[in-house]
Structure formats: structure tokens, C-alpha cells
Structure 1
Amino acid sequence: MKIWIDGSGWNGRESKFAVVFEDGRIVQEATREKKTNNVMEYESLIKALESCKEGDEIFTDSQLLVGHVLGGWKVRKKHLLPYVQKAQKLVGEKKVKLTWVPREKNKAGKLFE
């Protein structure tokens, strides 16, 4: 199954993320906590990973996410390390594919327009 994810950091009212499944299911969550865009991107990835099955493919427009989880990019912001470690563990266990797509091809991101 194909899954698209996106996160949006604090905008003065909320921080939020969305997960869009190929079968039409949509998961959206928002919080009044002031969280960064990268944290919300990771929260969307972890939500998708907890819900997916082996062999699924997750699409994100965050190069940072893909670089941290798959590409060996150094994690410079220490508050992201627990998210990176959890995502790497789940990607390995679930054997899913994580793929970068341009923003305009991210179905989850369209929910924030």
C-alpha cells in the first residue's frame, strides 16, 4: 500500500500532521503544543509506520526525514534523535520503503493548503 505523510509546525494556533493511505483512510492529528515542522514530520512518519504492513511504501516531501532514517545524515538537533531512532527501528522491522517526493506530489501535504 502507498502512504503519504506530512507535518506542519507551530503556526500560532497548532502543530499538526496528516497521513493519507492509498485506500482512502486519512489520519490527522493536531496539538496546541509548539512543535517544529521536523518534529511533526517525524510524528507523521511514526504514525504511518505503526499502521503499515510489510512491503508498504511511505512517501514524504522531507529530505531531512529520508536522509536521517535511510541516508546516514548526521542528526544535528538532539531533540530529533529519539524520533530518528524509533523511525529507523520501525522501518527495519516493517521492511517498508521510504521515498522522497516533491511537495506537489505529496497527497498528505495537500490537506494543509
Structure 2
Amino acid sequence: MTVVPSRLIVPVSTGLVAAVTCEESAALVTLSTTIPLTKEATSRYADLKEMRVHYHDAGEGPVLLMLHGGGPGASGWSNFKQNLPVLTSHFRVLLMDQPGFGLTDKPDRR
């Protein structure tokens, strides 16, 4: 008799769904408690010629850049923070605040 491990369905805000085994889920809980996935611990800035860009940086592996949509209160953190525990186990996740949103400078209108 073959036993197939149970899978948990983890929704992500982009409408995609990730399936992880119960064992992977337990590992993710451990990961999230050993690496602080907080707003403060992941906050970074890139100083560009025209503006200062804010982003959150967490995890290791291939880079996954996540871009938020528009609207009041939109930012990388507000849109994707709930996805970090799953995604950071596979990727280096960058949550960028686009120009004019979150803590990124507003572009000059010349």
C-alpha cells in the first residue's frame, strides 16, 4: 500500500495557490520562528540618483521580486507580508514599495 502525504493548500494574495506537505508546513513554522520576518527586520533602502527606494528583503535562493498594486495604503509589506513564511523557504523575496507608495520617495514631476 502506498501512502501519499497530506498536502496543505496555502493561498497567496496574487491568486496563486501553493501546496505544501505537512512536513514542509512544520518546517515553515520552525523557519518563521527562528528568522524574524518582521517589518523592521526586513526593511531596507536603495539610494538611487533620483529617489530613495524602500523594500523588504528576506529568505535565500533565487530572487523573487513582488510588486504591489495601487490604491490607498498599498506597499510591498501590506500586500505580501502574509506570504513570507512560505516563500522565504524557497526564495530570496524582495517586496518593493513602488515610487510614491509606502516608504519609497515620490518621483519629482518636472
TM tier, shorter chain?
under 0.3
Structure number with the higher helix fraction is 1
Structure number with the higher strand fraction is 2
Higher RCO (C-alpha 8 Å, min separation 6): 1
